[in-house]
Amino acid sequence: MLEENKEELESTQLESVESFTEEKQEKKVTEINYNSLSIEELIEEHEQLLETEKPYSVSKQIDEIKVCFYKKLHSLNDTEKESEEEETETDSEKQEKTLHPLEIKFKQVHNKYRKLKSEFRKNREQEEEKNLKIKQQIIVDIDVLIKEEESIKTTFEKFRTLQNKWKNTGNVPLKENNNLWQSYHHHVEMFYDYIKINNDLRDLDFKRNFEQKTLICEKSEKLLTEKSINSAFDKLQELHEHWKNIGPVVRELREEIWNRFQVASRKINKKKNDYFHKKQAIRKNNLKIKSEICKQIIGLSTPLADDHNQWVKLTEELKVFSEKWKKAAPIEKEDLKKSWSEFREANNEFFQNKSLFYKNKKEAISTNLQIKVSICEKAESLSNSTQWNDTGKTLIKLQEQWKNSPFVPNNTSSPIWKRFSKACDTFFNARKSHYKKLDQEKEVNLKEKKALLKKVNLFSVSDDAKKDIVKLKEFSKKWNSIGFIARDSMKINDEFNNRIYSLYNKLKIDKSEKENIQFLAKTESLKGNKHQLDKEKDFIRKQIESVNKVISQYENNISFFGYGKGTESMKKEVMKKIDQSKKEIETLKDKLSTLNKI
């Protein structure tokens, strides 16, 4: 009987060790999907789990919360870092070294849990030591029972009391558990084998034990239909613990009932192992996916992009890869650190390359900004100029230079642009106001000229030429004293000049004197009109050039005349024309000299 019970005990222990090993390898499936919670919600969930009386019962959930929390915190830190880079065109050398406020809060909560767990472990160890002494005493008491000479009924009642006490006493230190159990089982066997107990009572106990073990077999077989493999496995461990605390059955049924329980246990363990290996394969594949994503992240910035828009696009692609990396979960716990390190290194390489780009760009922006500042300062120096035409052309060229100047971010160039725009607006608004005022003056001038032209048209020459000349000069002087008129009204000047010339032509004076008076009148009309003055000068120069050509032609013709009475008169005629042409040139030069003095 002792050998059979010993065999049963060793098989039970073997089964329990296998189950315990698998339990350590596999985590319980948590009903809450912590990946779906925000950082704040994870902290709240952690705080709620502190309320449990058994800290170790929630250790798996808290480990998952911790992993999820730091994943999300690193992602949040990356986002804040990226935002800072975009706003400041990157300055990665200025990183905040203090802990994130959420991490501080999380650490406070987690430290409370660690303290609770430490206190619980300490209390549990004390309790286990206490339980060890109780169970050791129970074994001693059973041994004493065998040697007592009391009635069988009294002895058996004491034995049952000790059995219940054993069953109701909690766990003992793990290192003592196996030896203690073997000792207990040995003394129980000793009690049954050596005490003189009556067969009816013993058979009744065997029957009761058989019924309890049969019920355990049925429960273990029912666990095969349990949906949750982890739940079925945990319940099986409880059944094994219960089995240990039930006494033996009749010798003929021991092997049969134990084999039945073993068959169900192995099937559940196989399902557990299959499930574990399947999840292990998934985790290994996820690790491979994560590693491949890290390579793709490194490839984003190799070779380096040389354009801001390209970096914006690459950063968006990085976010997509990061999301894929996070979704490739779970992986083995021992691979977490290595995988996370690989992910961080890939991200760091990307952001270092991005930072280098913006650092170089910042230097270029400084140079480009100076170009815009120079353009702005030139515009500001011209903003109060009254050289409306030349300055206007210069400012338009500066606007074109600004447009074609190198790129500078808006947040940097905006203040300079406002200064430049203000300088341009100041000038062009002043010019617009000036020309508007001139237009009003031109309208008044046009009315005056129309009134004067009307008087001139009514004037008629008399026999007193000197008096008429004075009057005509007064008309011209008055006309020239009137300011500018609009360009589309310039025809009135021609009308006035033509009328004055026609009146001079009617005067009864010498032709040359008349021409001189007309020219002087014309010069008076040209005063203040640079364009018309230059035009008249060019006209006179061309006349001088034309007359010189005529003189050259005459002088060339004389060289072909021979000597004789017939050619002498022709020579005299040509020489006379040459002299007249020279006098005409002198007159033209005098006119040009007069115009140059205006």
Cα(268)–Cα(275) distance, rounded to whole angstroms? Answer: 10
Distance of CA 502 to the CA centre of its chain: 82
Give the least confident one: 57-61, 372-376, 522-526, 549-553: 522-526
Smallest CA-to-CA distance from 223 within 24, 33, 19 is with: 19
pLDDT per position as a tens digit, 176-200: 888 888 888 888 877 876 555 556 6
In single-letter form, the type of residue at position 64 comes to: E
Enter the tokens of residue 529.
């009109």
pLDDT per position as a tens digit, 388-406: 899 999 999 999 999 998 8
pLDDT band at 563 (very low <50, low <70, confident <90, very high): low
Distance of CA 270 to the CA centre of its chain: 50
Enter the tokens of residue 410.
């808006």
In sequence order, which residues have a C-beta less than 8 Å from that of residue 444 and are 6 or more positions away? none
| Residue 26 DSSP one-character state | S
Most confident of 40-54, 113-127, 372-386: 372-386
The answer on pLDDT for 566 being more than 90 is no
pLDDT per position as a tens digit, 76-114: 776 555 444 444 444 444 444 478 888 888 888 889 889
pLDDT band at 489 (very low <50, low <70, confident <90, very high): confident
> Cα separations (Å) of 42 from 56, 179, 318?
18, 43, 25
The answer on pLDDT for 598 being more than 50 is yes
- Look over the chain and give the mean of its residue pLDDT values, rounded to a whole number: 81
The answer on pLDDT for 296 being more than 80 is yes
The answer on pLDDT for 218 being more than 90 is yes
- φ/ψ of residue 197, rounded to 5: -100, 145
Q: Is 340 exposed, middle or buried (0-12, 13-18, 19+ CB in 10 A)?
A: middle
Gyration radius of the chain over CA positions: 58
The answer to whether 405 touches 441, Cβ cutoff 8 Å, is no
pLDDT per position as a tens digit, 427-456: 999 998 888 888 888 888 899 999 999 999
> Cα separations (Å) of 205 from 215, 245, 520?
15, 14, 154
The answer on pLDDT for 380 being more than 90 is yes
pLDDT per position as a tens digit, 325-352: 988 888 888 888 888 999 899 899 888 8
Helix, strand and coil in the chain, % to nearest 5: 85, 0, 15
Smallest CA-to-CA distance from 11 within 284, 244, 315 is with: 244
Count CB-CB contacts under 10 A for residue 49.
18
In sequence order, which residues have a C-beta less than 8 Å from that of residue 501 and are 6 or more positions away? 518, 521
**Average pLDDT value for residue range 150-168:** 83
pTM, two decimals, is: 0.37
The answer on pLDDT for 408 being more than 50 is yes
**Average pLDDT value for residue range 218-230:** 91
Enter the tokens of residue 525.
């009309």
